[in-house]
Amino acid sequence: MTQWKIGDSASLSKTVTKSDISGFAEITLDNNPVHLDEEYAAGTIFKGCIAHGMLSAGLISAVLGTKLPGPGAIYRSQSVNFHAPVRAGDVLTAAATVTSFEEGIMRLDTTVTNQKGKVVVSGVAEIGYKPEKFRIA
């Protein structure tokens, strides 16, 4: 059984591709041209296509569901703050750090940074977990 303590953290990294962006648009039905149309996006404040913010934030879910606390974790809530755009080719690292826990509930600070170390997403997650599957130290 895994034992977690305040301050424990986990992360994972992924390179965002144009295929990821178009796939996310297809799944979510968010076909905003700022994500998919270079000509349109060139005329925006971003000067080119950007990834959906929730695509970046979604990487946090992967950390929580696979690493910390891991399989069996269920989202209760997630605050999300967007700080910078993400583009195809960016390497994102999603991280979560345990800040508190009580029986069945874990709270974690969450961030997504790009290859330059710039925070692109930040927030706080609250996760439900089964105490028989996870034991907190």
- CATH code, domain with 109: 3.10.129.10
Full-model pTM: 0.89
- Residue range of the domain that includes 70: 3-136
Q: Which pLDDT value is given to residue 1? A: 39
With a cut of 70, list the residues of the chain below it in pLDDT.
Answer: 1-2, 130-137
Instruction: Give one word for 102, left, alpha or beta, with left for phi > 0 and alpha for psi -120 to 50.
Output: beta
Q: Which pLDDT value is given to residue 2? A: 56
Total domains in the chain come to: 1
CA angle 43, 80, 39 (to 5 degrees): 15
Q: Which pLDDT value is given to residue 134? A: 52
